Amino acid sequence: MTTTVKHPDRLAEQINNILANPDSWRQAAYHADCGTKHCIAGHGQIASGKSMNVNTCRADAREWYGLTGNDSDWLFHCDRTMPELHGFAVAALAGEPHFGADGYDRYGYNRDGFARDGYDCEDYDFDGYHRNGYDCDGYARDGYDRHGYNRKGFNRDGGRLPLLTITGDK
């Protein structure tokens, strides 16, 4: 299988520009800080000779880099990190797809950011539960925290947290 990127050299050139001038990159916005910071799509739009325009940025950059819709969706995502962009470009320059036939990149993650075992790089699964069984708020799949209380303060037997004793104004 070969890469679907028609102009990997253009992508590599923009990544090199960002690496040389890291203050010019902000992946969370096409064009930010009065036009001095750009995501990888914004850099591509400018390099293509088109005017900065947030309404046409994705399409302009996709065309200039020669990307498929799936690749541009992945590459232009606001949470993409520089190592991810770099890895994509390395694969494109080598004439290889970033995502293999099995749908996983060279680091073992699919387009949604999950490894083959179903967990993302921070060890959370698709439903938001950590490998240790708790969500980011500390509650297990059954709705109870490690102390046995749910979000409303009741334990599994229906008892609730004890009321606090107030000893006066302080």
pLDDT digits (tens, 9 = 90+) for 96-148: 887 766 777 767 777 777 888 888 877 888 888 888 888 888 888 888 888 88
**65 plus 140 within the same structural domain:** no
- Pick from 119, 115, 86: which is nearest to 12 by CA? 86
**66 plus 24 within the same structural domain:** yes
Pair of tokens at residue 139: 């509650």
Whether residue 167 is contained in a domain is answered as no
Q: Which residues contact 31 (CB under 8 A, 6 or more apart)?
A: 37, 38, 42, 52, 54, 57
**85 plus 13 within the same structural domain:** yes
The CA distance from 74 to 158, in Å, is 46
User: How much of the chain exceeds pLDDT 70, in percent?
Assistant: 95
User: pTM value?
Assistant: 0.63
The CA distance from 71 to 92, in Å, is 11
User: How much of the chain exceeds pLDDT 90, in percent?
Assistant: 36
Whether residue 68 is contained in a domain is answered as yes
**137 plus 80 within the same structural domain:** no
Q: Which residues contact 88 (CB under 8 A, 6 or more apart)?
A: 11, 71, 74, 75, 98, 105
Q: Which residues contact 42 (CB under 8 A, 6 or more apart)?
A: 29, 30, 31, 52, 57, 61
State which of 23-27, 29-33, 96-100 shows the largest mean pLDDT: 23-27
Task: Print the domain residue range for 141.
Answer: 122-156
The pLDDT of residue 81: 86
The total number of structural domains that make up the chain? 2
CB 108 within 8 A of CB 115: yes
**13 plus 87 within the same structural domain:** yes
List residues bridging with 129 in a β-sheet: 135
